[in-house]
Structure 1
Amino acid sequence: SDMFGFILIEDFVFGEQTSLVVDPSEEKLKLEFNGVKRVYLPSHAIHRIDEVEKQGVAKIRDGKNTNKVALFPNAGTSKKDNPSC
């Protein structure tokens, strides 16, 4: 990649429409990346990248919101500043 700490994704390829059946999830991806030449993803945000043998359905989905986020105390935080510690 051109930038340290980022993964470069470019030359997006979507399935060719050979029938009247349209995949709505693929159409959503096409619209989202319409006009985009390349995407730089922070490497710490990537869980995995797979190279597959057969074409499948591409999907983008939101992560599960579990609301279990807590502030991790550090040396500069005291209980007075952050009562949840």
Structure 2
Amino acid sequence: MSKMLYKVSFLNHGKVYELYARRVASGDLWGFVDVAELVFDVREGVVVDPTEEQLRSEFADTRVLHLPMQSVLRVEQVERRGPAAIRDAATGEQVVTPFPLPAKPR
């Protein structure tokens, strides 16, 4: 039997973050949800999802996220991992962070 996988959606600075984790529990800190063992796509290749890369770098050194209960929108137990995403809280559209373009020569 494989380890359980959870999709966690939470509010962060006016955006909805969707991450995948192996462990979700009510925290030792009252009013917080602990999210641990974050799962990111480990594929290496030509096609890279900029949102996934941004989330991976933002949470690179994170062992446990202590999320306030009020910011957690949804916790789902899922069969397989989908793409991690950052969405606009008002519209629900995915926020795409473009790759930086080279500066124009003057």
TM exceeds 0.5? yes
The alignment's TM-score, normalised by the length of structure 1, stands at 0.65
RMSD between aligned residues:
1.8
Moved >4 Å (runs of 4+): none
The count of corresponding residues between Structure 1 and Structure 2 is 65
What's the counterpart of residue 77 of structure 1?
none
Q: Distance in 2 between matches of 1:2 and 1:53?
A: 27
Mapped partners of 1:8, 1:14: distance in 2: 17
Instruction: Name the SS for the 1:12 alignment partner.
Output: strand
Once the 2 structures are TM-superposed, how far is the Cα of residue 14 of structure 1 from its aligned partner? 0.9
Paired AA for residue 38 in structure 1? V
Match of 1:27 among 35, 53, 56: 53
Unpaired runs of 5+ residues, structure 1, are: 66-85
Larger Rg: 1
Q: Which residue of structure 1 aligns with residue 84 of structure 2?
A: 58
**Distance in 1 between residues matched to 2:84 and 2:73, nearest whole Å:** 16
C-alpha distance in 2, partners of 1:62/1:3?
Answer: 28
- Write the distance in 1 (CA, Å) between the matches of 2:82 and 2:38: 15
The answer for the alignment partner of 2:68 in structure 1 is 42
Structure 2 unaligned segments of length 5 or more: list them: 1-26, 92-106
Identity, % of aligned positions: 37
What SS does the aligned partner of 2:67 have?
strand
